[in-house]
Amino acid sequence: MDLRHLRYFVAVAEEENIGRAAARLHISQPPLTRQIQQLEEELGVTLFTRTPRGMELTQAGELFLEEARNIRALVEQATERTQRAGQGKLGRLDVGIFGSAILDAIPKLLLAFRNRYPDVKVVLHTMTKAEQIEALRQRRISVGFNRMLSPLADLEIKQVTTEALLLAVPAEHPLAAQPVIRFAELQDHPMVLFPTGARPSFIDKVIGLCADSGFQPLISQEVGDAVTGVALVAGGFGVCLVPDSATTLQFPGVVYRRITDTPPNFYVDLSCIYRKDDQSPILAAFLDTAERYREETT
């Protein structure tokens, strides 16, 4: 049996007349007769009673008509859904995000993606940079978000946005009272740094900036993520350089201050990382959305 048989059968059943059905199918009458005969022979069931006025369904034929219509609808639906999946419009995208970076850019980007591809189920997995890389290679995620990513042979990196750095300062701290903060002044104040874990990371960025300005920071504490860092600032552990987006963390007793004499690379990137060999149309759609986001926000 063949989908053609089903198509022909439904046409004949609906027209109750082989000639008309043949015309509707754009074939001539004899082949249609033969196909129907074949179908009946293969099933071993008489589907039609032949009358001088045309073809009339038997009870078995009526049942088969329902089934045939059902199957044909299902085939249509399957192709349609598969095509949507092939265009990245339907399916699932596993995304790795880092600890506290669910701030500003990532939610906005995910929201934009959801709007463009409402039938793609986005699943977020919180994991560190090293875990993201491992998960990418094991195909547990298709894309990861992180900062300060280093090039890798099998993974591609694409910058999503850059963020200026701000200084998180305890409200009672002398620097909070100054109208202007110069970067070099930070050498006199204990700093909270983050994240711990896989290097290079944001920590190295900050230490590098200090080194460029000719000093070593006074490290009061290293913590895992920005949220903890700002919490320690609130607790008086010192100041902390954070990306712009961290200002969404409004802790009582913490104020954010701009640095006036920013060195040229006084910003940090937010990038996404994915397998070079990943041909998934959903990933392509996601990266396209990310690209648009980047263009809109720069």
Partner DNA sequence: CTTCTCGATACCCTACAGGTATCATCGGCA
Partner DNA sequence: TGCCGATGATACCTGTAGGGTATCGAGAAG
Q: Which residues contact 213 (CB under 8 A, 6 or more apart)?
A: 183, 184, 187, 263
Can you name the residues that pair with 144 across neighbouring β-strands? Answer: 96, 273
Q: How far apart are CA 256 and CA 121, in angstroms?
A: 36
- Per CB under 8 A, contacts with a copy of itself among 2-41 are 2-4
Which of residues 75 and 171 has its CB atom nearest to a copy of itself in the complex?
Answer: 75
Q: Is residue 47 within 8 Å of 57, Cβ to Cβ? A: yes
Q: Which stretch binds DNA (CB under 7 A): 24-32, 104-112, 176-184, 210-218?
A: 24-32
Q: Does 52 engage in binding with a copy of itself (CB under 8 A)?
A: no
Q: Does 154 engage in binding with DNA (CB under 7 A)?
A: no
- Kind and range of the H or E element at 107? helix 105-116
Looking at residue 239, the DSSP 8-state letter turns out to be B
Helix axes 3-15, 18-25, angle to 10 degrees: 130
Q: How far apart are CA 99 and CA 257, in angstroms?
A: 24
Q: Which residue in the block uniquely carries the two structure tokens 């990861």? A: 144
Q: Does 155 engage in binding with DNA (CB under 7 A)?
A: no
Q: How far apart are CA 293 and CA 160, in angstroms?
A: 7
17 binds, among a copy of itself, DNA, none (CB under 5 to 8 A by kind): DNA
**Contact pattern for a copy of itself over residues 68 through 107, marking x by CB under 8 A:** x-xx--xx-xxx-xxx-xxx--xxx---------------
Q: Which residue in the block uniquely carries the two structure tokens 């669910």? A: 102
Least distance CB 33 / a copy of itself (angstroms): 19
Q: How far apart are CA 13 and CA 156, in angstroms?
A: 56
Which residue in the set 14, 19, 196, 224 belongs to the binding site for DNA (CB under 7 A)?
Answer: 19
Q: Which stretch binds DNA (CB under 7 A): 13-21, 191-199, 278-286, 287-295?
A: 13-21
Q: Does 55 engage in binding with DNA (CB under 7 A)?
A: yes
Q: How far apart are CA 194 and CA 221, in angstroms?
A: 9
Q: Does 182 engage in binding with a copy of itself (CB under 8 A)?
A: no
Q: Does 52 engage in binding with DNA (CB under 7 A)?
A: yes
Can you name the residues that pair with 155 across neighbouring β-strands? Answer: 275
Q: Which stretch binds DNA (CB under 7 A): 27-35, 80-88, 225-233, 250-258?
A: 27-35
Which of residues 94 and 244 has its CB atom nearest to a copy of itself in the complex?
Answer: 94
Size of the site for DNA (CB under 7 A): 24
112 binds, among DNA, a copy of itself, none (CB under 5 to 8 A by kind): none
Q: How far apart are CA 196 and CA 227, in angstroms?
A: 13
Q: Could you list the residues that contact a copy of itself (CB under 8 A)?
A: 1-4, 43-47, 49, 58-60, 63-64, 67-68, 70-71, 74-75, 77-79, 81-83, 85-87, 90-92, 279-282
Q: Contact positions toward DNA, by CB under 7 A? A: 2, 4, 16-20, 26-31, 33-38, 50, 52-55
